[in-house]
A and B are shown apart, each in its own frame.
Chain A
Amino acid sequence: MTQGSSYWVAVVHRVSGIALAVFLPLHFWALGQALGGAERLDRFLAWTEQPLLKLGEWAIVVALAAHLGAGLRVLAIEFLDWREWQKTLAALAAALAALVGLALALAL
Protein backbone atom coordinates (compact mmCIF):
# COMPACT_ATOMS: atom_id res chain seq x y z
CA MET A 1 0.00 0.00 0.00
CA THR A 2 1.41 3.41 -0.87
CA GLN A 3 1.67 5.26 2.42
CA GLY A 4 0.80 8.89 3.06
CA SER A 5 3.24 11.48 4.35
CA SER A 6 1.98 11.04 7.92
CA TYR A 7 3.09 7.42 7.92
CA TRP A 8 6.64 8.34 6.90
CA VAL A 9 6.83 11.13 9.47
CA ALA A 10 5.72 8.60 12.10
CA VAL A 11 8.41 6.13 11.00
CA VAL A 12 11.07 8.87 11.19
CA HIS A 13 9.71 9.86 14.60
CA ARG A 14 9.97 6.31 15.92
CA VAL A 15 13.36 5.41 14.41
CA SER A 16 14.93 8.72 15.50
CA GLY A 17 13.47 8.14 18.97
CA ILE A 18 15.09 4.73 19.21
CA ALA A 19 18.42 6.16 18.03
CA LEU A 20 18.22 8.92 20.64
CA ALA A 21 17.28 6.48 23.41
CA VAL A 22 20.37 4.41 22.57
CA PHE A 23 22.59 7.51 22.24
CA LEU A 24 21.52 9.27 25.43
CA PRO A 25 23.12 6.93 28.00
CA LEU A 26 26.35 7.02 25.99
CA HIS A 27 26.17 10.82 25.84
CA PHE A 28 25.63 11.10 29.60
CA TRP A 29 28.46 8.68 30.30
CA ALA A 30 30.83 10.59 28.00
CA LEU A 31 30.07 13.92 29.68
CA GLY A 32 30.45 12.26 33.07
CA GLN A 33 34.09 11.79 32.06
CA ALA A 34 34.58 15.43 32.99
CA LEU A 35 34.42 14.25 36.59
CA GLY A 36 37.90 12.92 36.02
CA GLY A 37 39.05 16.38 35.02
CA ALA A 38 39.33 18.41 31.82
CA GLU A 39 42.11 16.21 30.49
CA ARG A 40 39.92 13.12 30.71
CA LEU A 41 37.20 14.85 28.71
CA ASP A 42 39.76 16.11 26.19
CA ARG A 43 41.00 12.57 25.58
CA PHE A 44 37.44 11.50 24.86
CA LEU A 45 36.87 14.49 22.54
CA ALA A 46 40.07 13.64 20.66
CA TRP A 47 38.82 10.08 20.21
CA THR A 48 35.63 11.42 18.61
CA GLU A 49 37.58 13.22 15.88
CA GLN A 50 37.34 10.19 13.58
CA PRO A 51 35.29 10.89 10.38
CA LEU A 52 32.84 8.06 11.08
CA LEU A 53 32.09 9.43 14.53
CA LYS A 54 31.77 12.97 13.19
CA LEU A 55 29.19 11.64 10.74
CA GLY A 56 27.45 9.90 13.64
CA GLU A 57 27.40 13.14 15.62
CA TRP A 58 25.85 14.98 12.70
CA ALA A 59 23.32 12.17 12.20
CA ILE A 60 22.24 12.16 15.85
CA VAL A 61 21.71 15.93 15.82
CA VAL A 62 19.60 15.61 12.66
CA ALA A 63 17.72 12.78 14.38
CA LEU A 64 17.06 15.08 17.34
CA ALA A 65 15.75 17.85 15.07
CA ALA A 66 13.62 15.38 13.12
CA HIS A 67 12.23 13.87 16.33
CA LEU A 68 11.40 17.35 17.62
CA GLY A 69 9.68 18.35 14.37
CA ALA A 70 7.66 15.16 14.20
CA GLY A 71 6.82 15.46 17.89
CA LEU A 72 5.51 19.01 17.44
CA ARG A 73 3.26 17.62 14.71
CA VAL A 74 1.85 15.02 17.14
CA LEU A 75 1.24 17.70 19.77
CA ALA A 76 -0.53 19.89 17.22
CA ILE A 77 -2.81 17.07 16.09
CA GLU A 78 -3.58 15.95 19.63
CA PHE A 79 -4.01 19.31 21.33
CA LEU A 80 -4.84 21.82 18.62
CA ASP A 81 -7.15 19.54 16.61
CA TRP A 82 -5.26 20.35 13.39
CA ARG A 83 -6.62 18.40 10.41
CA GLU A 84 -6.09 19.81 6.94
CA TRP A 85 -2.77 21.16 8.20
CA GLN A 86 -1.30 17.74 8.92
CA LYS A 87 0.49 17.53 5.60
CA THR A 88 1.90 20.99 6.15
CA LEU A 89 3.03 19.89 9.57
CA ALA A 90 4.82 16.93 8.09
CA ALA A 91 6.58 19.26 5.69
CA LEU A 92 7.51 21.64 8.49
CA ALA A 93 8.97 18.80 10.51
CA ALA A 94 11.11 17.78 7.55
CA ALA A 95 12.19 21.36 6.93
CA LEU A 96 13.18 21.82 10.55
CA ALA A 97 15.37 18.74 10.47
CA ALA A 98 16.96 19.80 7.19
CA LEU A 99 17.70 23.29 8.48
CA VAL A 100 19.36 22.02 11.60
CA GLY A 101 21.37 19.50 9.59
CA LEU A 102 22.59 22.26 7.32
CA ALA A 103 23.44 24.57 10.22
CA LEU A 104 25.41 21.87 11.94
CA ALA A 105 27.22 20.82 8.77
CA LEU A 106 28.34 24.40 8.28
CA ALA A 107 29.47 24.65 11.88
CA LEU A 108 31.38 21.39 12.02
Chain B
Amino acid sequence: MSSRGETQLWLAQRVSAAVLALCVSVHLATVIYAVRGGLSAAEILGRTRGNGAWLAFYALFVLAASVHAPIGLRAVLTEWLRWRGASRDLFLLAFAVLLLFIGLRAVFAVFA
Protein backbone atom coordinates (compact mmCIF):
# COMPACT_ATOMS: atom_id res chain seq x y z
CA MET B 1 0.00 0.00 0.00
CA SER B 2 1.20 3.55 -0.66
CA SER B 3 2.01 5.88 2.20
CA ARG B 4 -1.04 7.86 1.10
CA GLY B 5 -3.26 4.80 1.53
CA GLU B 6 -1.67 4.03 4.89
CA THR B 7 -2.35 7.61 5.98
CA GLN B 8 -5.98 7.17 5.02
CA LEU B 9 -6.12 4.00 7.15
CA TRP B 10 -4.67 5.91 10.10
CA LEU B 11 -7.24 8.67 9.66
CA ALA B 12 -10.11 6.18 9.32
CA GLN B 13 -8.88 4.50 12.52
CA ARG B 14 -8.91 7.79 14.47
CA VAL B 15 -12.29 8.91 13.11
CA SER B 16 -13.88 5.53 13.87
CA ALA B 17 -12.24 5.71 17.32
CA ALA B 18 -13.97 9.01 18.03
CA VAL B 19 -17.33 7.58 16.90
CA LEU B 20 -16.73 4.46 19.00
CA ALA B 21 -15.79 6.52 22.05
CA LEU B 22 -19.35 7.86 22.00
CA CYS B 23 -21.02 4.58 21.07
CA VAL B 24 -19.06 2.57 23.64
CA SER B 25 -19.85 5.02 26.44
CA VAL B 26 -23.56 4.74 25.68
CA HIS B 27 -23.31 0.98 25.26
CA LEU B 28 -21.43 0.47 28.56
CA ALA B 29 -24.00 2.52 30.45
CA THR B 30 -26.84 0.61 28.78
CA VAL B 31 -25.28 -2.80 29.47
CA ILE B 32 -24.64 -2.03 33.13
CA TYR B 33 -28.21 -0.77 33.49
CA ALA B 34 -29.79 -3.69 31.61
CA VAL B 35 -27.79 -6.39 33.36
CA ARG B 36 -29.17 -5.59 36.81
CA GLY B 37 -31.45 -8.35 38.03
CA GLY B 38 -30.39 -10.72 35.26
CA LEU B 39 -30.93 -10.88 31.53
CA SER B 40 -33.79 -12.40 29.60
CA ALA B 41 -34.60 -12.37 25.93
CA ALA B 42 -38.10 -11.08 26.59
CA GLU B 43 -36.72 -8.16 28.63
CA ILE B 44 -34.14 -7.23 26.01
CA LEU B 45 -36.30 -7.66 22.95
CA GLY B 46 -39.23 -5.96 24.63
CA ARG B 47 -37.10 -2.84 24.91
CA THR B 48 -35.40 -3.04 21.52
CA ARG B 49 -37.80 -4.42 18.94
CA GLY B 50 -39.24 -1.81 16.60
CA ASN B 51 -37.01 0.92 18.01
CA GLY B 52 -35.76 2.93 15.04
CA ALA B 53 -33.48 5.26 16.96
CA TRP B 54 -31.60 2.41 18.65
CA LEU B 55 -31.42 0.55 15.33
CA ALA B 56 -29.71 3.53 13.70
CA PHE B 57 -27.39 3.93 16.69
CA TYR B 58 -26.27 0.31 16.67
CA ALA B 59 -25.96 0.21 12.88
CA LEU B 60 -23.52 3.13 13.14
CA PHE B 61 -21.78 1.31 16.02
CA VAL B 62 -21.34 -1.80 13.85
CA LEU B 63 -20.04 0.24 10.92
CA ALA B 64 -17.47 2.04 13.07
CA ALA B 65 -16.35 -1.23 14.68
CA SER B 66 -16.02 -2.90 11.25
CA VAL B 67 -13.58 -0.15 10.27
CA HIS B 68 -11.74 0.13 13.57
CA ALA B 69 -11.08 -3.52 14.50
CA PRO B 70 -9.42 -4.65 11.23
CA ILE B 71 -7.17 -1.57 11.05
CA GLY B 72 -6.20 -2.14 14.67
CA LEU B 73 -5.41 -5.78 13.96
CA ARG B 74 -3.30 -4.73 10.98
CA ALA B 75 -0.60 -3.37 13.28
CA VAL B 76 -0.72 -6.50 15.43
CA LEU B 77 -0.43 -8.83 12.42
CA THR B 78 2.44 -6.80 10.96
CA GLU B 79 4.43 -6.34 14.16
CA TRP B 80 3.76 -9.47 16.17
CA LEU B 81 3.01 -12.07 13.47
CA ARG B 82 5.32 -10.50 10.87
CA TRP B 83 2.58 -10.83 8.27
CA ARG B 84 3.12 -8.39 5.41
CA GLY B 85 1.76 -7.53 2.00
CA ALA B 86 -1.48 -7.92 0.10
CA SER B 87 -2.50 -11.24 1.71
CA ARG B 88 -2.61 -9.64 5.14
CA ASP B 89 -4.72 -6.73 3.87
CA LEU B 90 -7.06 -9.06 1.98
CA PHE B 91 -7.56 -11.09 5.16
CA LEU B 92 -8.38 -7.92 7.06
CA LEU B 93 -10.80 -6.76 4.37
CA ALA B 94 -12.57 -10.12 4.61
CA PHE B 95 -12.70 -9.71 8.40
CA ALA B 96 -14.19 -6.23 7.98
CA VAL B 97 -16.87 -7.55 5.62
CA LEU B 98 -17.63 -10.40 8.03
CA LEU B 99 -18.03 -8.02 10.98
CA LEU B 100 -20.24 -5.71 8.93
CA PHE B 101 -22.43 -8.55 7.72
CA ILE B 102 -23.01 -10.44 10.95
CA GLY B 103 -23.09 -7.15 12.87
CA LEU B 104 -25.89 -5.68 10.80
CA ARG B 105 -27.63 -9.05 10.92
CA ALA B 106 -27.53 -8.87 14.71
CA VAL B 107 -28.79 -5.27 14.70
CA PHE B 108 -31.67 -6.36 12.49
CA ALA B 109 -32.37 -9.36 14.71
CA VAL B 110 -32.57 -7.29 17.85
CA PHE B 111 -34.06 -4.01 16.72
CA ALA B 112 -36.21 -4.64 13.67
Contact = CB atoms under 8 A, between A and B. Distances in A.
Contacts of B69: 17, 20-21, 24
A87 interface: no
Taking residues whose C-beta sits less than 8 angstroms from the other chain, chain A's interface range is 35 or more
A101 B44 CA distance: 22
Interface SS majority for chain B: helix
- Contact count band on B: 20 to 34
Contacts, number: 89
Contacts of A21: 69, 72-73
A41 B103 contact: no
B103 A28 contact: yes
Interface string B28-46: 1001110110011110110
B77 to A, nearest CB: 10
Interface string B63-99: 0010001001100100000000000000000000011
16 contacts: A21-B72, A21-B73, A25-B98, A25-B102, A27-B106, A33-B109, A35-B105, A35-B108, A35-B109, A39-B41, A64-B24, A71-B17, A79-B14, A107-B33, A107-B35, A108-B35
